[in-house]
Chains A and B, each alone.
Chain A
Amino acid sequence: GDSVTQMEGPVTLSEEAFLTINCTYTATGYPSLFWYVQYPGEGLQLLLKATKADDKGSNKGFEATYRKETTSFHLEKGSVQVSDSAVYFCALSEHDMRFGAGTRLTVKP
């Protein structure tokens, strides 16, 4: 069935470092792909999404490109801030929403 695999955490970076969180997917058709973020003590919230191959989703300085040839949707940010510390979930949706296990990011000043 459909599934998402994302890199295990935790990830610890210094402020202004470059961030990549890897996400690959398995699907039978043409899913939409999402990144959700969960800040401490809160529920998940949508960060960005892409609905077809080669689409780039972006928000708050984060970007991810839907790569059908590599079945990937890696999350990137050029310069992270302490306020980006959170858990990031990759997800795909074809018939229903499937979430990855989450990757905890800690950004240190």
Chain B
Amino acid sequence: DAGVIQSPRHEVTEMGQEVTLRCKPISGHNSLFWYRQTMMRGLELLIYFNNNVPIDDSGMPEDRFSAKMPNASFSTLKIQPSEPRDSAVYFCASSHGRSYEQYFGPGTRLTVT
């Protein structure tokens, strides 16, 4: 298996622009997670999907952030409008369940200027 695939690997955008991050989980995994990692705040769970349904979005920082999982092999995290404080590395991870070991993608490094 190719592992969790994320795109793009790097994104540089201007404040106010819409940003869409993409994730393809490992085939057969029914759980998908979006994380944000910064030096100041460490690794933060943003949202958790189970069987394509958002179960826990308590970590989504504000309404500018939204996530979808239209099918078992694809998820998006959208930020609209983006702000400089959104600059971070965003990781997608998948697993067989919420309490099982997670497999992380390589991350998307987002820079908002």
- Which residue in A34, A43, A89, A102 is a CB contact (below 8 Å) of B93? A43
Residues 51-66 of chain A: 1 if any B CB is under 8 Å from the residue's CB, otherwise 0? 0000000000000000
Are A97's CB and B104's CB within 8 A?
A: no
Give the shortest distance, in Å, between A5 (CB) and chain B (any CB): 13
Contact A97 B43, CB 8 Å, known A42-B107, A43-B4: no
- The listed residue with most B CB atoms (<10 A of its CB), out of A42, A89, A96, A102, is A96
Interface centre among A34, A45, A89, A94 (most CB of B within 10 A): A45
> Which of chain B's residues have a CB closer than 8 A to the CB of A89?
43
The residue in A42, A43, A95, A96 that gathers the most chain B C-beta atoms within 10 A of its C-beta is A43
Residues of chain B within 8 A (CB-CB) of A22 are none
**Size of chain B's interface in residues, with CB distance under 8 A?**
17
Out of B93, B98, B101, B105, which one reaches A96, CB within 8 Å? B98
Cα A41 to Cα B107 with chains together (Å): 8
Interface check B28, CB cutoff 8 A: no
Q: Is the CB of A43 within 8 A of B107?
A: yes
Q: Which residues of A contact B107 (CB under 8 A)?
A: 42-43
**Would you call B61 an interface residue if the criterion is a C-beta within 8 Å of the partner chain's C-beta atoms?**
no
Residues in B with CB closer than 8 Å to A44 are 43, 91, 93, 102, 104
Residues of B whose CB lies within 8 Å of any CB of A are: 4, 42-43, 48, 91, 93, 95, 98-107
